[in-house]
Amino acid sequence: MPTEQYNSPGTYTWTCPAGVTSATVECWGAGGGGSGITSNAYHTGGAKGGSYAASTISVTPGTGYTVVVGARGVGGTTGGASQGYPSSFGGGTVSAAGGHPSNAFTQVSVQASGRTTSNGTTTGQTTVAGSDGGASWAGSTTGGVGGAGANGGSGGSAGSGSASSAGNGGFPGGGGGGCGRSSAGSQLGGHGGDGRVLITYTVDTTGPSTPGTPSASQASSSGYTVNLSWSASSDSSGVSGYRLYRATSSGGALTYIKSVSGTSTTDNPGANGSYWYAVDAYDPFSNYSSQSGRGAVTVDVDTTPPANVSGVAWSYTAATGALQLYGWSLIGDATRYRVYRDGSLRGDTGSNTNSYTDNVGANTDFSYTYRITSVDAAGNESSGYSLVVSRDTTPPSVPTWASYSATGTTVNLSWNASSGSPSFYHVYRNGAYLKLVNAPTTSTTDVPSLSGTYTYTLYAFDASGNQSSVSAGAPVTVTYPYNNMAML
């Protein structure tokens, strides 16, 4: 069992080692100084020994605690003997008082031996008085013997009449002896013994008990989450937590997953398959238990998406802006349908129904690509059915002529393309429909059967059938080499 001693007076810091939560602390206060003499007419008493205190207390690893070791009391001559200083631990959590000095100069009435011990209890710590120094008797040449040290140093013996020096108190904490009469004049009393602090502790190197084998189950058939729980470990220092491991075969290597403080958690292996789980426990000092047994679970999640819908129809209500998609085929294992517009999710039907209404704005033109997907209870989603819906009420711009002329009996017509994505043009001659010209072509020819002046006009049309206003007229004169007009 490790023990740390502090035997020299001073102030120290004891840092609690890892794995230590309890320590027994013993403190000895320093002994007081004994009284001296100034002539052979006096015989003096011994000083008090320092007290002893012991207690087992809780400590925290890594924390520093103040240790104070008391210095001895100094023996005096004409009085002046000093008190012994106290020793303590942890700011007074455990404390032992120093011994009182002796400053008596009158001769004592008896040759006295010092007191040995006196016991008591204060706030949970055992206290024992230190051994006192011996006294000198006026009628004898032999001083009293210091008290025997039961838990500390013995008291110093008193000086005799012929040999006036007094004995010092023993270490730790013995009181100094008093001086006897002496023809040699002034003599010092005995010094007290210094204090002491002793710390004894046990380091926890034992891991917790082995936790129970985890119970593992799939939380839901629609997801990969596994619920895990196990019976707790025990440890004298307390269990700090558990480490979770996972393997993909009964005897395969375990991979660390995470640490948890309790006895239950969840894991998501992310794929179908069989898995084996184990745990171990650890205490505050990183002592680990043996690994538990392995608990098995099979994860089986539906990963097959439902079929796509088909046969989607649509309608638009200009007054409200509601665009309704409806009429698609219902899919047996679908629980709802998602509607996307130009790649962005617009909504979810919330049930196995075949209609959805989107708002695209009242009285507006639009062109959107919608995609409708099927979703099953496991969250699997089909690739989807796509359709383009559009509304266009804006006609192309009025076409303008680039050139028009006649070469012989052939009329050459050319115009500038309309804006607004025209699909085709209608060509009229003298107000009568002549022909259709598909965009992007912007030219054509005509061969009238008779000489004369002809006026050509144009209309542009888009894919929605919107028609532009009529163009300006383009007059072209055609002359045949003979007067076929006269023949008419």
Domain layout of the chain by residue ranges: 1-203, 215-299, 313-391, 400-486
If you search the block for the tokens 């404390």, which residue do you land on? 95
Strand 334-341 and strand 344-348: the pairing is antiparallel
pLDDT band at 488 (very low <50, low <70, confident <90, very high): very low
Q: How far apart are CA 370 and CA 351, in angstroms?
A: 19
Q: Among 93-97, 191-195, 289-293, 341-345, which is the least confidently predicted range?
A: 191-195
pLDDT of residue 397 exceeding 90, the answer is: yes
pLDDT of residue 134 exceeding 90, the answer is: no
CB 381 within 8 A of CB 374: yes
Question: What superfamily would CATH give domain 400-486?
Answer: Immunoglobulins (2.60.40.10)
Q: Among 59-68, 152-161, 204-213, 308-317, which is the least confidently predicted range?
A: 152-161
Mean pLDDT over all residues of the chain?
84
Q: How far apart are CA 54 and CA 33, in angstroms?
A: 24
Strand 241-247 and strand 255-260: the pairing is antiparallel
Strand 313-317 and strand 295-299: the pairing is unpaired
pLDDT band at 191 (very low <50, low <70, confident <90, very high): confident
Task: Give buried/exposed letters for 331-351 (b at 16+ CB in 10 A, else e).
Answer: bebbbbbbbbbeeeebeebee
CATH 2.60.40.10 for domain 215-299: yes
pLDDT of residue 69 exceeding 60, the answer is: yes
pLDDT tens-digit readout, 6-19 = 999 999 999 999 88
**Over residues 440-453, mean pLDDT:** 96
**Over residues 373-383, mean pLDDT:** 93
pLDDT of residue 109 exceeding 60, the answer is: no
φ/ψ region of 400 (left if φ > 0, alpha if ψ in -120 to 50, else beta) reads beta
pLDDT band at 201 (very low <50, low <70, confident <90, very high): very high
More confident: 385 or 104: 385
Q: Do domains 215-299 and 313-391 have the same CATH topology?
A: yes
Phi and psi at 486, nearest 5°, equal -65, -30
pLDDT of residue 487 exceeding 60, the answer is: no
The pLDDT > 70 percentage for the chain reads: 80
In angstroms, the first-to-last Cα distance of the chain is 139
pLDDT of residue 298 exceeding 80, the answer is: yes
pLDDT for 446:
97
Fold of 313-391: Immunoglobulin-like (2.60.40)
pTM, full prediction: 0.49
pLDDT band at 182 (very low <50, low <70, confident <90, very high): low
